[in-house]
Amino acid sequence: MTEAVETQSAETEPERPREKRPEKILPALEALLFSSARPVSEKDLADVLEATRDAVTAALATIGSAAEQAGRGIRLEKAGGGWRLTTRPEFDALLRKFHEVTERSRLSLAALETLAIIAYRQPITIPEIQDVRGVNSAAVIKTLFEKKLITTSGRKPVVGTPFLYRTTSEFLIRFGLNTLDDLPKPEELAEDLAATIEDPLASAEPERLPSAVVSSRNGPEDEDEDDEDFDDDGEDDEE
Domains in the chain (CATH in brackets) are 2-97 (1.10.10.10), 109-231 (1.10.10.10)
Buried b (16+ CB within 10 A) or exposed e, 148-179: ebbbeeeebeeeeeebbbbbbbebbbbbbbbe
Alpha-carbon gap, residue 221 to 134, rounded angstroms: 10
Dihedral over alpha carbons 66, 67, 70, 72 (to 10 degrees): 130
Lowest mean pLDDT among 32-46, 93-107, 173-187, 222-236: 222-236
Tens-digit pLDDT profile for residues 113-172:
999 999 999 999 999 999 999 999 999 999 999 999 999 999 999 999 999 999 999 999
Residue 231 is predicted with a pLDDT of 41
Amino acid identity at 139:
A
Residues 58, 60: Cα–Cα separation, whole Å: 5
- Cα gap 46→28, rounded to integer Å: 11
Calpha distance 3→76 (Å, rounded): 48
The predicted model gives 217-234 an average pLDDT of 39
The pLDDT score that the predictor gives to residue 11 is 56
